[in-house]
Structures are given as C-alpha cells and as structure tokens.
C-alpha cells in the first residue's frame, strides 16, 4: 500500500511496510507520480536492531517514519508515548485502514484551519478547497488506536496535521507524549531558523547549521511565550529570502510546546512539533480519546519569503474566522502610555475628541478602568467600572465616544486575579496552585496570580462578567492581555492522576472563553496581547485577528520585531503603534516620520496623548493617518516581501539597514519601506532590489514623506512627493533602486539626516497607452 498526496505544489509519499509501519518516502515540493517509489526507501539494518524476528530486513531506527512511538527499537526521540495499566510503553502500531475526506474535520475545543468553500471559480463553486487523508494505526494487544490526519489545501504548498488517540482496552492508559507532527528527512544539510527573544525584544531571527543531536525551541510557561515562538524552519545553507529550499512547522496552539530537530549518527533529520511532554500527561479512560493540536507544515523552493507567503495566505483564507480578517483595522488611540491608570471620564472624553479631530477611529481604554485599580496590585477579576473614576459608569464615556463617530475599546486581563479583589475574597480556591502552599509562597508576577481555567465555573464566570460589561457598555473592541506565566500549575478540581493535564486543560479553558465571547459578539474586534508578544500564535489568531506583538514601540527595535514576526504571521494581523517621543521603553528620540513609516506596515495606531500635541505635530499626524487609511486595505490583503534583514550587517555599513514591501494581488501597485538605524559618512550606495512586480509593466515610482504629503492627492505631486523616473518591473527587481539621495555624503554635499532614517516609496502601474519615459 502506497499513498501519494499532492496538489501540484507539494507532495507527500507514504509506504506501508510489511510490518505495518508507515515509511515516509518523500515530503517536499511536488514531484511526479510513478508506480514504484521503493528506491527511496532506506531499509538497511546496519548496526541497529531489526524490527522483529519476522522482518529481518527492516530497522525502525534506519527508516523515515511517519509517527514514531516510544518503547520500540527506534531509539531516536519519539512522537508518541503511551503507558498502559501494566506500566508498559511497548506500542507497536500497524496500518489498519484509511479514509479520504473531502474538506476538513474540525477539532473539538481546539482552534484549527477550516475548509473554505470555493466561489470564485465556476467549476469549483461549492467545493471545499482542501482534502484530508486519515490513516488508522492499531496495536490490538496494547489496546490503542491512532488516527493520523493530514489536510492538503488547494493552491498552497502546505499541510495541516493532527493526531487522534483512542484507548481500546478495558483499563486506563496514560498519554505521556503526543506530538502533532513528526517529519523525517533523509539528510541534515539544513540551517535551523527559530524566533527567540524576551519581553520588548520578541521574534529575533536566529539561524544556525544543524548539528548532531537534539536542538530546537520550547516553552513550559503555559503560553507560547516571548522567549520562543512555536515555529521552526529548516533552510538549505544557500537559501535566502528570495531563493532556495526550505520547510517550516508551526502549531495552532497557545500552550506549552516543543519544536525540535534531532540529527542522528547517519545525518538523518527528525523534526517534531507539538505539546511539550515535559509538563504533560493525559489519562485515557477505557474508550476515551485525546486529540492533539493542529500542526502546519509548509515548504518552499522560492526562499523564506515563499515560505512566509504560504503561511500568510493559509491563515487569511483558512484560519482566521473573524469578519475583521479582510477589513481595514480601525486607527486606534490606546490610553496606556498616555495616562497609565490615572484616568477619568473627563480626561478620556477630551482625549477622544482630540483623537477624532486627527482622524483616529477608536478609543481603547487600557488598564485602570475597573474595580479600585490605581496600581498593579489590585482588582483583577472585578470586571466592573471604578465608580471613583467613572461615577456615571463606563457607558456614559462609551456613549460620548460613539456620538463622536468613534468606536470604543476596553482592556481585559481575564485569566488573572489579584489578592486584593472582590473575586479573590469570594473564591480564593480559584487560584491556580497547590493548596498545601500558602498564597504568598506561590510565584507572583506583576502582583497577580493565575485563575484556574481548568474549572468550568471559572470560565463561566468570566464569560458572564466580560459579556455583561461588553454588552452593557457597548464595547466594539477588546484588548485581551495576559501579563504573567503559569507556575505551580496544580488544580484543586482535578484528582492526583490528572494533574499532568493542567497546562493543556488551561489552554482549553482559554479557548472556551475566547470562542464563547466571539460567538456571543460576532462583530467584536479582539486584539490579543500578553505583555506584548508573549502569546502571538496561530491558536489565538484563529479568533483574535490582530495581535499586539510587542510592548516596545521604539521604531528601531520594532523593525527587528516586525521583521521576525512576518516570518510567520500576516503583517495585517500585527498591531503597530506610533508612541510619544522620547520613547517610553528606550528613551530614544526618533522622528515622527520614522516611527510612522515603520508602523505603517501593519495595523496602524497610536500610543500617546493627542491633547498635548503641538499644531505642527497634529498636522503631521493627520497626514500620517490619511496614508494609513489609504494603504490599510493593501496591508490586509497584499503579498508581503522582506527585502533586507535588520539582522544582517553588510560590508561598508555601520549597521544593518532593513527593507520590505507590500504588493497588491495584481502586481500593479506596491509600497516599499526602507530603514536605516545608523548613518555613516561616505558610506556605499545602498541598492535596493524589489520583488513581486510584473516584468513588463512600467511603474511610476514616487517617494513620499508621510508626514508632509497629502494622501488624497491622487496625482502624487506637490509638497512631500519626490517623483522618480518610471521604471519597468524587471529593472526594479534586478537592478534595483539606488538610494543615493540623502543616504550618503561626501565633501560638498548636504548633511546626512542622522540616525533613525526611513524612506517610503509608492509604485503604481502606468497605463500602457502612456509610452513616455
């Protein structure tokens, strides 16, 4: 029995071996089908064990396996470990049957990709844009059935995988490891790329050659974390953004994860991604089942940009369920850096009025509106207005904001609780933690503790409290925060033999609350946040279509953060704000133009007090907002290209510059951003080669100052516009733009603009009737 799944862009070839094991013969960019792929097998036993006495020609340690189990003669890291009531791990799964599902089955309680019904093609109208292969593996003597599901999507080189595990025995079993996907590759000639960091410096790109042994990234913090994103990519050493072979795996999940690569002594590579087994176990009752989160695996032969563009397209088409997925995000002003917790109705009304005059569209009231919240040590869980600050309630403020023609947003941190809160006084047992430990001996961060989201009554309370506030006040936009990790993860609601389920059940409780609010308020805009980017993952993105990717709003730092985040997530889903100068996190003074030019590539907004701006700043911000509105639809639906990495310093330059661009689907319009952190005297001329354009189309190239030029000037002429000579697409992509003006200097030339310098270019196709050059 052999399977070859392909959609013309990606291929996966699986062979059933005589012992019933599944052998991965090929995974990668699409290949032609043929009757016999057996020459791709590696069955030599070498110096390893044979699988059993009846199959002397097969060694599990030498073959590329689809889903390796612990307790076998494959002594590499496993994807599945199950222990039965007798204490044995010796699972020997064998092929039983398969099914082909037209479309895709949803995962109960877990976010996942979905089948999109095609409507743009008459021949495909009413048909799902994906197909799923399900393979059942069984070990009858152990009493275990495992179903591997793999979905392939039309027009994209990507698959979605998940695993369902069922106890067929009459005694309980314990799942000790259950990865969502495992991928064996025949060689180790790869670089590993991961996204790592910390608070305020998320998603920094790290790249290193594979070495023998185990390597990768993981989290045991109870969330996907700022320290490591649930993402791992393998790229050929010669691969870069524009060319070369690569493969990437990520997880549609917000809890603890492991994304790792193992290279064996014969230079074979095993990639695994799934729930981190270090903090996980799951008790399977007789007849019980467990479903893993979904893994996404994409491949590319067109470099890392191709890999990212596949993931971006999949998320927009088959993952994000919010109606805001394709709408331009509202231009928000958030109150945090403007006032922190020092707020009242009068000051916020004045802020909204001033913001409306500038063209902003949404006032988001951040932390400090509820309970008796003056500092970080109180009131989490008490989701009702602080009557000292809002004697008329928050509805009075929301009504005033709505009357101005603006939307109204509100901050929540649902999964947390303060010791100084009404909720804690009523339910001290709702705190996550071992009850034998005094509260004050538990780990604490930002003066707060974690609610036990494994308990249905906790989720029900939050759904009711938040729902009542959202509905009564008239909230259009929720900023959903989470400012600490999980520790001492023990639930009083679970018996001792189920405490290994706490982290995963906590994630399921989070999804139940998130999905419940989205179902109750289908037009509610939800922006996820977790001290910045501590829970930016596909599991959250499925329901919350926008993420606050970092608390660091310094433009030079943001270039790196936004660059790394774009490896995985659509830029239109990334919330970027212009903040007050000097920057609150770094103290750096950058121009309003530089800050805006970076934030422009994403969901644009502000983190400042508009009432204290002078008239010149107000004029500049009005123009900036107009450009953000004009380009906003493109940021949601266009194709994003990374052109130059801020992590790669080139010879002759004092520091790395960065560049990226967004191109309309038809290739006839684009916007380019270029950023320089440090300016050097008499530096080389930077040449910027563009991407994604049409070779035979001539483009009008116009440099704009987004704080001076008027976005409603469709002729793109006048103050703030610098027209360049029209160029064909092939020249722009192969020769590039010479960025000589104001970026280099020698004797007798005008002074340089200084550090923190940006340039924005608009490209528009010239009608073919216009032949003048």
pLDDT the model gives residue 125: 53
The pLDDT > 90 percentage for the chain reads 87
Alpha-carbon distance of 230 to 539, in angstroms, equals 10
Which CATH number fits the domain that encloses residue 156? Answer: 2.70.98.60
What pairing do the DSSP bridges indicate for beta strands 191-196 and 204-209?
A: antiparallel
Instruction: Tell me the CA distances in angstroms from 288 to 83, 170, 285, 291, one per residue in order.
Output: 14, 10, 5, 10
Residue 398 covered by a domain: yes
Residue 40 covered by a domain: no
**Whether residue 106 is found in the same domain as residue 161:** yes
**Whether residue 227 is found in the same domain as residue 281:** yes
If DSSP states are collapsed to H, E and C, what string results for 362-411?
Answer: EEEECCCCECCCCCCCECCCCCCECCCCCCCCHHHHHHHHHHCCCEEEEE
User: Which of 119, 115, 113, 155 has the alpha carbon at shortest distance from 131?
Assistant: 115
What's the mean pLDDT in 367-386?
A: 98
- Where do the DSSP E strands lie in 639-754? 639-644, 657-663, 669-676, 687-688, 698-704, 721-728, 737-738
Alpha-carbon distance of 625 to 642, in angstroms, equals 24
pLDDT the model gives residue 696: 97
Can you read off the two tokens belonging to residue 724?
A: 């360049």
**Whether residue 175 is found in the same domain as residue 273:** yes
pLDDT the model gives residue 746: 44
326 upstream amide cis, omega within 30 of 0: no
> 691 pLDDT exceeds 60?
yes
Cα 449 from chain centroid (whole Å): 26
Residue 49 covered by a domain: no
What's the mean pLDDT in 287-301?
A: 99
Residue 19 covered by a domain: no
**Whether residue 258 is found in the same domain as residue 196:** yes
**Whether residue 363 is found in the same domain as residue 510:** yes
Instruction: Tell me the CA distances in angstroms from 649 to 197, 375, 425, 643, one per residue in order.
Output: 19, 43, 55, 13
> 373 pLDDT exceeds 80?
yes
Each residue of 102-145: pLDDT tens digit?
999 999 899 999 999 865 554 555 689 999 999 999 999 999 99
Lowest mean pLDDT of 311-315, 323-327, 464-468, name the range.
323-327
pLDDT the model gives residue 715: 62
What's the mean pLDDT in 690-698?
A: 98
Structural domain harbouring 271: 70-318
Annotated binding site: 199, 366-367, 446, 479-483, 529, 551
**Whether residue 119 is found in the same domain as residue 257:** yes
Can you read off the two tokens belonging to residue 535?
A: 């829970």
Alpha-carbon distance of 571 to 590, in angstroms, equals 23
User: Which of 608, 181, 545, 142 has the alpha carbon at shortest distance from 364?
Assistant: 608
Annotated binding site for substrate: 199, 366-367, 446, 479-483, 529, 551
Looking at the annotation, which residues are catalytic?
481, 551
> 253 pLDDT exceeds 50?
yes
**Whether residue 465 is found in the same domain as residue 544:** yes
Alpha-carbon distance of 82 to 353, in angstroms, equals 60
Residue 264 covered by a domain: yes
pLDDT the model gives residue 717: 65
Please, what sign has the CA dihedral across residues 212, 217, 222, 223?
Answer: negative
Which CATH number fits the domain that encloses residue 394? Answer: 3.20.20.70
Over the Cα atoms of the chain, what is R_g? 27
**Whether residue 292 is found in the same domain as residue 188:** yes
Question: Which residue is it, tokens 């703030």?
Answer: 720
Helix 502-520, helix 456-473: angle, nearest 10:
30
pLDDT the model gives residue 682: 76
Contact 217, 276 (CB under 8 A): no
Each residue of 702-746: pLDDT tens digit?
999 999 988 876 566 677 888 899 999 999 999 999 987 554 444
Residue 128 covered by a domain: yes
Which CATH number fits the domain that encloses residue 730? Answer: 2.60.40.1180
Cβ neighbours of residue 691 closer than 8 Å, sequence gap 6 or more: 242, 305, 641, 643, 661, 663, 733
> 360 pLDDT exceeds 70?
yes
Alpha-carbon distance of 429 to 415, in angstroms, equals 14
**Whether residue 313 is found in the same domain as residue 346:** no
> 535 pLDDT exceeds 60?
yes
* Residue 40: half-sphere exposure toward Cβ, Cα within 13 Å: 21
**Whether residue 402 is found in the same domain as residue 481:** yes
Write down the mean pLDDT value for the chain.
94
User: Which of 18, 194, 168, 162 has the alpha carbon at shortest distance from 80?
Assistant: 162
Contact 97, 136 (CB under 8 A): yes
The pLDDT > 70 percentage for the chain reads 95
Alpha-carbon distance of 325 to 315, in angstroms, equals 9
> 684 pLDDT exceeds 90?
no
Cβ neighbour number for residue 752 with a 10 Å cutoff: 17
**Whether residue 362 is found in the same domain as residue 409:** yes
Residue 14 covered by a domain: no
Each residue of 187-231: pLDDT tens digit?
999 999 999 999 999 999 999 999 999 999 999 999 998 999 999
Residue 300 covered by a domain: yes
Cβ neighbours of residue 768 closer than 8 Å, sequence gap 6 or more: none
What's the mean pLDDT in 468-489?
A: 98
Can you read off the two tokens belonging to residue 190?
A: 């790869």
Structurally, the chain folds into a number of domains equal to 3
């Amino acid at each position: 029995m052999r399977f070859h799944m392909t959609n013309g862009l990606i291929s996966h070839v699986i062979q059933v071996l005589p012992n019933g094991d599944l052998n991965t013969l090929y995974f990668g960019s699409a290949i032609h089908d043929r009757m016999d792929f057996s020459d791709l097998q590696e069955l030599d036993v070498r110096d390893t064990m044979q699988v059993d006495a009846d199959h002397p020609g097969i060694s599990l340690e030498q073959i590329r396996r689809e889903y390796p189990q612990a307790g076998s003669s494959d002594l590499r890291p496993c994807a599945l470990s199950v222990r039965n009531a007798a204490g044995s791990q010796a699972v020997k799964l064998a092929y039983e049957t398969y099914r082909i599902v037209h479309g895709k089955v949803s995962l109960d309680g877990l976010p996942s990709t979905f089948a999109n019904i095609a409507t743009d093609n008459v021949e495909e109208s009413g048909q799902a844009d994906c197909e799923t292969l399900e393979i059942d593996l069984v070990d009858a003597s152990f009493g275990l059935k495992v179903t591997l599901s793999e979905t392939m999507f039309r027009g994209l080189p990507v698959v979605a995988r998940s695993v369902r595990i069922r106890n067929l025995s009459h005694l309980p079993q314990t799942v000790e490891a259950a990865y969502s996907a495992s991928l064996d590759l025949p060689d180790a000639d790869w670089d590993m790329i991961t996204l790592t960091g910390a608070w305020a410096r998320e998603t920094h790109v790290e790249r290193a050659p594979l070495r023998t042994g185990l390597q990768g990234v993981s989290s045991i913090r109870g969330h996907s974390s700022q320290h490591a994103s649930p993402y791992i990519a393998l790229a050929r050493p010669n691969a870069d953004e524009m060319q070369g072979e690569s493969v990437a795996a990520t997880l549609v999940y917000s809890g603890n994860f492991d994304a790792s690569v193992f290279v064996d002594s014969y230079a074979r590579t095993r990639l695994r991604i799934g729930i981190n087994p270090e903090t996980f176990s799951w008790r399977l009752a007789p007849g019980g089942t467990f479903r893993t989160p979904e893994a996404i695996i994409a491949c590319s032969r067109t470099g890392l940009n191709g890999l990212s563009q596949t993931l971006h397209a999949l998320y927009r088409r088959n993952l994000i369920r919010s109606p805001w997925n394709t709408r331009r995000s509202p231009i928000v002003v958030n109150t945090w850096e403007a006032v922190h917790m020092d707020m009242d109705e009068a000051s916020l009304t004045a802020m909204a009025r001033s913001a409306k005059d500038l063209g902003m569209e949404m006032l988001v009231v951040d932390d400090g509106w509820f309970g008796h919240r003056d500092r970080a040590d109180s009131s989490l869980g008490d989701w009702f207005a602080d009557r000292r600050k809002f004697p008329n309630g928050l509805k009075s403020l929301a009504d005033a904001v709505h009357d101005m023609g603006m939307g109204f947003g509100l901050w929540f941190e649902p999964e947390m609780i303060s010791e100084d809160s009404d909720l804690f006084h009523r339910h001290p047992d709702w705190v996550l933690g071992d009850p034998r430990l005094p509260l004050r001996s538990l780990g604490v961060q930002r003066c707060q503790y974690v609610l036990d989201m494994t308990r249905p009554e906790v989720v029900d309370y939050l759904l009711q409290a938040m729902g009542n506030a959202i509905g009564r006040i008239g909230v259009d936009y929720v900023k959903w925060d989470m400012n600490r990790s999980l520790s001492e993860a023990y639930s009083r609601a679970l018996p001792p033999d189920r405490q290994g389920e706490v982290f995963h059940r906590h994630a399921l409780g989070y999804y139940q609350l998130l999905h419940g609010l989205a179902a109750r308020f289908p037009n509610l805009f939800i922006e996820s946040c977790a001290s910045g980017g501590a829970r930016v993952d596909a599991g959250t993105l499925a329901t919350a279509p926008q993420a606050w990717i970092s608390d660091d709003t310094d433009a030079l730092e943001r270039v790196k953060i936004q660059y790394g985040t774009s490896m995985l997530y659509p830029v239109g889903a990334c919330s970027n704000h212009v903040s007050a100068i000097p920057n609150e996190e770094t103290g750096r003074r950058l121009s309003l133009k530089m800050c805006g030019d970076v934030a422009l590539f994403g969901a644009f907004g502000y983190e400042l007090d508009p009432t204290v701006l002078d008239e010149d700043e107000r004029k500049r911000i009005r123009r900036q907002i107009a450009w953000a509105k004009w380009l906003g639809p493109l940021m949601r639906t266009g194709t994003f290209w990374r052109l130059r990495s801020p992590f790669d310093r080139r010879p002759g330059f004092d520091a790395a510059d960065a560049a990226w661009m967004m191109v309309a689907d038809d290739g006839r319009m684009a916007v380019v951003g270029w950023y320089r952190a440090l300016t050097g005297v008499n530096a080389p001329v930077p040449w910027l080669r563009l991407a994604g354009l049409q070779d035979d189309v001539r483009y009008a190239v116009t440099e704009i100052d987004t704080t001076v030029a008027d976005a409603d000037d469709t002729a793109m002429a006048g103050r703030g516009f610098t027209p360049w000579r029209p160029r064909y697409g092939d020249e722009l992509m192969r020769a590039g733009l010479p960025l000589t003006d104001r970026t280099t200097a020698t004797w007798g030339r005008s002074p340089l603009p200084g550090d923190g310098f940006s340039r924005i270019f608009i490209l528009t196709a010239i009608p073919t009737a216009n032949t003048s050059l």
